[in-house]
Structure formats: structure tokens, C-alpha cells
Structure 1
Amino acid sequence: MDTKKLRDDALAIFNAGVKAVDPVDAIKRYLKLEDGILSVENRTYDLANYKGVYIIGAGKASAAMAQPLEDILGDRIKAGAVNVKYGHAAQLKIIRVNEAGHPIPDEAGLKGTKQIIQLLQQTGDKDLVICLLSGGGSALLPCPVDELTLENKQQVTKLLLEAGATIQEINAVRKHISRIKGGQLARLVYPSTLISLILSDVVGDKLDSIASGPNVPDTSTFSDCQHILDKYSIKQKIPAAVLEHLERGASGEIKETPKADDPVFKKTQNVIIGSNILAVKAAMKKAQELKYHSLILSSFIEGETREVAKVHAAVAKEILSTGSPVPRPACVISGGETTVTIRGKGLGGRNQEFALAAAIEIDGLEDVVILCG
């Protein structure tokens, strides 16, 4: 088969997956406004019952998600503020966009988060707050507890990333050194009504892991955080103030993050409007349209990037050799979130490492293209 055609088909299949989780399309699919009634999935909100609507959010796509909200709600929006990664801003009419650091939180992110908290101080029980969360939301909502600094949080995040901790483990620790994460944003929003619209980039779409679960009950504990630091043998590198805070929490001196029975969640709706599995299924549909025998290997792929790449290359070799698990022409699709353990002065980069590791394995094979994005 022509290599250019394989490459073009791979890009078309990938782009179909990306299009399926486009933030603008996702917002328009899930939010409808008719005669003053806002419909969100299986719930309705009579906007006549609310004094004002406020928009908050964080994530690489939060500004893009905010654009159609302004079109739908117009001047019903009293105010809004969202934090986005540098280079991901959008021109909005009402909602303030603050650019900040990702994956390591920075002072700009802290400033933007404090602006969100100040905005929430204007709201009451007759207001509606819509929160927009997407990939990167955890790093883009930094607000350490009072006794810790942003530098403390940056150090902890960097150490966990370099150690190869999973996103779930990183988020568990982030929650317990934050004023926002692990259901604590919902606590700040209360007693206002809260709608949380989520573009998930977390394997399995666990709500308490997406953006560190700012609007859902937290299932992790201070003790879990201590176990994570022990698991990766980085406790001796963690700032003393962070260790002291976690120890005080584990001993019951500091209040835990809100759990499922907390009353703040009675006025909260969380809706996933886009996810990994949705993108994977759309990619598969496009592959079938292009006449490929298609297989979703998994949407739960995790692990060390170079090892995962070797497994995908091995699947390609099996198809060439035996026609299993799908015959040629074949398209094998997977999704998930791998990790890279940084060594020496390496910078990391999961997609590049995956592509390079896979390329080494398939070197010399004909009619094989691997795309990672």
C-alpha cells in the first residue's frame, strides 16, 4: 500500500477523533436554552429563578468552551473568569481569560484562581455558577493551603512527574495541599447552584480524578498521600512544610476534603461532555469508512510510554504475520494516558517518546504507520 495514503488515512482517523471532542461542539450538544429554560443533559434550570449566572473554569480548552456559552446565555452572564494554558486564550466578550502555566503551576495561575475565588464571593443561594473543566485543569487551578507556597506545590508536582507517578496519584496529593481541589471548589460555590461541564482527559473518566475533582466528593485521604510519597521514595525530597501538613491531616488535625455525604453536593451537577472513549469510537468509525478492519485495543491504556509503544508495535507485527487480531488492511486504535520517567537532563514528551520507541520496533516493516497524538 502507498505510504502516503497510509499517512493521510492515519491523520484523517486521528482528526475524526479530535473533532468528536471539540469543545465548541460539545457545549452546543449538551446545553440548550429555550424560553428561559436551560437544559443540561437530564436536568432543567429556569433562569428566572436565578439572580445571575457566573462562569468559572480551568483547563486548556476552558476558553474555547466559554465561547459558545456566551453565545447561548448572552447578557444573563453577570461575570466570569477562566484559567487557560499559555497560548490557549480566546477572545471573549464577558468572561475574563487568564493565561497560566501547565503542567507546572505558576504565579499567573495562582492569581487567576484567586480572581475566581473573589468572583464566587459575590454569589449567593439565588445564583447559578457554571464551571468549565478540561485537560490541564488541575495545574491551572493552583491555590495552596495558607501554610504552603506555590513554590512548595510546584516542587511536589515536579517530583511526582519525574518519578513517574500516575495522574491519579499526582492529583490525590494536589487535593490535600489545595484550597480548591478534591471537592473544595464546590464548597466555595455553595450555597449557589453549580453546573460542572467537563471535557475528560482521564482514563476511565473518574470524576474525582478529572482536574483533581474540584466539584465532586473526594475518595482519597491524607494517609493515601503519605503512601504515594513512600511508594516513589521521594519523601526526603518533599518540602518540610508539605510533609508537616500531610502528617497533621493524617492525624486528624486538619479537616479532610469533602466526602459524598457533604451537603454542598446536593446543589451540584457534574456532566462529562467529551471523553477519551468518545474520541476513540469516532476514530474507529472513520477507519471503517476508509475500509479498514478496525479494532479498539483499549481506551484504558496506561504505563511507561516506551513500553506501551513496544506493545503496539508488537500488535502491528502480529497482524502482518498472522492476520490476528484483525486482518489487513487493519487499523488498531487505543486511548489513555501514559507516563514518562525523566532521566538525567531529559525534558519528557509522551507522544514523541511513543513515536520514537515504536519506530525503532517497526523499523524495516512495510505498510505500517503509527500515529500518536
Structure 2
Amino acid sequence: MIRNREALLESAQDPELAELALDCIAAGIRAADPSHATSERIRLSDGRLRVGDEPYDLSAYDRVLVLGGGKAAAGVARALETTLGNRLSGGVVGVPADGDTAGLDHIEPVTAGHPTPTEGSVEAGERVLTAANEADERTLVLAVVTGGGSACLAAPAGDLSLAVLRDVTDALLAAGADIGETNAVRKHVSALKGGRLARAAAPATVVGLLVSDVVGDDPAVVASGPTAPDPTTHADALDVLDRYAIDAPAVRTHLEAGARGDHPETPDAGDAAFERVTNHVLAGARTAIDAARDHAAAAGYEPLVLSSRVRGEAREAALTGVAVAEEALATGDPVAPPTVVLSGGETTVTVQGSGTGGPNGEYALRAALELADTDAPVALACVDTDGRDGSADAAGALVDPGTIDGRGVARDALARSDSHGYLAERGALVRTGATGTNVNDLRVFVVGRQT
């Protein structure tokens, strides 16, 4: 899973601590594997499909369709094919180019773009919408909604173009907008997001199957909530553009028209579209954290879960993580070493230069700066569980007090948003390749005993 594991351990200050950090990361990613998570939650018995505790009598439906998209969509779809076999009538899922689509016979994958949408994303979105519009009350729609679905399923609303959607998405990400803010805009420039997939499929029975990459696992936020009521409005989306000074004239014109009532608002919780819709979270940030925690405990370390909901600027969040490790070493609070301190969530980076990086690289570099030139027995591994951290081709990084070999150069890299550039030169990047899942960030501080 970690392709450069041996090289990372060779350069670590304390290979034992580093090895445990990497093993915890690997355990977390494995637990969030979408095929595994789907198989754990979905069963077929006596003609009933059971999702969690909720049964669906397949004799009540003439067709069973799988529709959706995202980074984990292929894995969920593959598990559904294994479970349902010929009971499936067909389906379409939008998946990234590096997605593993092997084993899909009834469900057609469409190659789509991520993190910004492509023509393939438009094709996937339009085909999913077409199939949803053809559904009737005797159709069961299994809606696969996973992280990355916002980009993989692009169906521009009104007269908006793909280029306009790409530009506004890139601008919001570069400005440091969080996922809720970014999705408030995405929902209102899409014919599919913000509950509009559920509206298109009505009166079919819609079962949302979610692999969550958002803090709190809110179905309205995962992949911009295609099967969930939308609490935001066109006016809220305009507020986001104003807050971050986003220059997007075509989007602004579209949103202003919506705010005037010139085209329909996204459906809210009182909309009849949701009368036959349920959403189930198959895996989320806590899935990965709990698996990492269990691995740490089995290794003889006391695990402490700080939170699965860490957000804000990555470089600021890193200071809190380091402070907890330092306090544990100094006082034994909130947990005595040897310990593994875990957290997840979704931090952001306000891009300040032309470097290469992402939230986990920035978190790791900032933490390494704080630990530099100390004798603290600490190793930190932090990754994006999809295997790609922001704009970089690595999942994240493994750092310790020996990673920094020049504070000035490191601070300059941080100032230029070039965390991956700096860490790559020091062999600290963690490389997993595409993992086929996405439950957001996973951070592991391994704190040994002070000697």
C-alpha cells in the first residue's frame, strides 16, 4: 500500500516509531476500502436487500439501477455487482481516470475528471441524470455518492459551460474555501447536485450509499449532496463568491437570476422529492481512525483520538497536534507515552505561491518545523486517504525532528505553498498511488517515551 515504505524507514530518525505511524495509516486506508465497507453493510437474503438495518423487498421493483460517482464509486459498484448479480438492471458511475473498474459487468463506468471536472464528467453527469429521469415508482435506485463526486458528476445548469465550472472550482480551492462553501456554489451551478438527482429520480425509491470525505459525514455535503435536501440557497452561493472575492461573471449572473426566482431553487427538507429517499454512510473519517486506533492498541501503544472533525488552515492545525504531543511528553496529559494520537477531518490551504503541495504536506512541514532540533521521540504520518494530497502526486508525508535540515529554507517553502517540493527533496513524501477510496485526512502522531 505504501510504495516507498522501505525508503521512508531508512531515512527516519526512529524507524520503530515511523514504522508504527505508517502501519496505522495503512490500516486506516484498508478499513475504508469501499468494496469492503459495502460488503460489511449490505446483504441479500430471501429476496430482500438489507442496507444496514433497513430492508428493501426486491419483488416490489421492476428495475434496480446503480447511479452515481466519485473516487470510491468503482469499489462500491463492484461490491453491489457481487451482492446482486443479475438482479441488477444496469447503471452508470463516473470514476476518476485512475479508478479500478475491473469486475464491472452490469454497471458502466465513465472516466471523469478530478479535482476539476472534464468532458467525461459532463458525460457521466448527463447519463446519470437521464437514467434517473427514466426511473418510475417501481425502480430502486442505488445512488453511489462518494468523495470526489462533485467533480466526477458535472451537469452544468442553465447556459453555464464546463469551462466556467472548472474555473470557479479552481478559484474556490485556491482561495481556501472549505468544502461546505465550495459545495454551496457547486450545488447551484449544477443540474444534479443539491438534491436534484433525488428530484429527477422521483417517484423511484432512492437509497443513497455514501463514502464520506467531509467533516461530520453530512449527506448534504458529500459530493455536493445529490440525494440530500439542500440547506443552502442561490443567495448563500453568492455570499461565498463575495467572501472570497471570486471573479466568475457567468456564475454570478446565473446565481443572481436564481436568487430572483428566475429558475428553481434546489430542493430543501420539505420537498416531496425526498419522500422515498434514504441515505446510508458506509464509511467515513471515523472508519479509518478507528482502524488505526485498533492497530496502535494491538502494538502496545495507548491510542487517543483527538477528533475526526479537524478543519481550518493546515499550518495552524499542525500547531495543535504538536502541542498535544509535547504535553504528553512533558506531563503525561492527556495521555501518557507511549501513545498514538490520531485525528482526521479536512484542513485547507490558502495558496500563497506557485509551489506544489496540499493540506497534509503543509501540516507535516509545519509540524516538522516545530519539532526540528529537539530530541522529542515523535513521528508523524499524515495523508489524504485517496492517495493524492491537494495538487501533489503523493498522499502526504512522514516527518520527525530530523526532517528539517534548514529552518530558513523550510519556512520559505511553507511561505510559497511548496510543502511537497521541500519534503520530496528530503525523501519524506508518502506515496500510495490511488487508493480507490476517500475518507479525507488521517493523521498519526506516534509519541515514544522520553529517554
**TM-score, normalized by length of structure 1?**
0.95
Residue 298 of structure 1: aligned partner: 307
Residue 74 of structure 1: aligned partner: 85
Q: Which amino acid aligns with 2:47?
A: G
Q: Which amino acid aligns with 1:268?
A: V
Q: Is the 8 A contact 2:64 2:90 kept in 1?
A: yes
Q: Deviations over 1:58-116 (max 9, x none)?
A: 11010011111111111111111111112013111111111211111111111111122
1: CA distance, partners of 2:356 / 2:233: 31
Residue 169 of structure 1: aligned partner: 181
1: CA distance, partners of 2:54 / 2:308: 28
Q: Choose the corresponding residue for 2:113, options 81, 86, 101.
A: 101
Taking the TM superposition and a 5 Å limit, the aligned residue runs for 1:219-234 are 219-234=231-246
2: CA distance, partners of 1:135 / 1:362: 33
Q: What is the root-mean-square deviation of aligned Cα atoms in Å?
A: 1.5
Q: Choose the corresponding residue for 2:263, options 248, 254, 261.
A: 254
Deviation, 1:49, is 1.5
Residue 124 of structure 2: aligned partner: 112
Q: Is the 8 A contact 2:214 2:345 kept in 1?
A: yes
Taking the TM superposition and a 5 Å limit, the aligned residue runs for 1:61-210 are 61-91=72-102, 92-210=104-222
Q: Is the 8 A contact 1:89 1:99 kept in 2?
A: no
2: CA distance, partners of 1:159 / 1:116: 27
| Count of equivalent residues | 370
Deviation, 1:136, is 0.6
1: CA distance, partners of 2:335 / 2:52: 37
Residue 276 of structure 1: aligned partner: 285
SS of equivalent to 1:299:
strand
2: CA distance, partners of 1:45 / 1:298: 34
Residue 226 of structure 2: aligned partner: 214
SS of equivalent to 1:33:
strand
Q: Is the 8 A contact 1:89 1:97 kept in 2?
A: no
Q: Which amino acid aligns with 2:327?
A: E
Residue 349 of structure 1: aligned partner: 358
2: CA distance, partners of 1:191 / 1:146: 24
Give aligned-pair identity as a percent.
Answer: 42
> Are the structure 2 counterparts of residues 252 and 122 from structure 1 closer, same or farther at C-alpha, using a change threshold of 3 Å?
closer
1: CA distance, partners of 2:226 / 2:132: 14
Structure 1 segments (4+ residues) deviating >3 Å: none
Q: Is the 8 A contact 2:67 2:93 kept in 1?
A: yes
Q: Is the 8 A contact 2:310 2:347 kept in 1?
A: yes
SS of equivalent to 1:139:
helix
Q: Is the 8 A contact 1:342 1:348 kept in 2?
A: no
2: CA distance, partners of 1:225 / 1:266: 26
SS of equivalent to 1:216:
coil
Deviation, 1:286, is 1.7
Q: Deviations over 1:10-66 (max 9, x none)?
A: 122222222222211211121111121111122211111211111111110100111
Deviation, 1:324, is 2.1
Q: Is the 8 A contact 2:203 2:273 kept in 1?
A: yes
Q: Is the 8 A contact 1:182 1:215 kept in 2?
A: yes
2: CA distance, partners of 1:284 / 1:308: 20
2: CA distance, partners of 1:257 / 1:342: 31
2: CA distance, partners of 1:186 / 1:123: 11
Matched, 1:335 2:344: yes
Structure 1's unaligned 5+ residue stretches are none
1: CA distance, partners of 2:309 / 2:82: 35
Q: Is the 8 A contact 2:42 2:50 kept in 1?
A: yes
Structure 2's unaligned 5+ residue stretches are 1-11, 384-451
2: CA distance, partners of 1:69 / 1:26: 11
Q: Choose the corresponding residue for 1:241, options 223, 247, 250.
A: 250
Deviation, 1:347, is 3.7
Q: Which amino acid aligns with 1:45?
A: Y
Q: Choose the corresponding residue for 1:42, options 38, 49, 53.
A: 53
Residue 368 of structure 1: aligned partner: 378
Deviation, 1:166, is 0.3
Matched, 1:12 2:23: yes
Q: Which amino acid aligns with 1:8?
A: E
SS of equivalent to 1:69:
helix
2: CA distance, partners of 1:17 / 1:336: 13
Q: Is the 8 A contact 1:55 1:129 kept in 2?
A: yes
Q: Choose the corresponding residue for 2:275, options 259, 266, 270.
A: 266
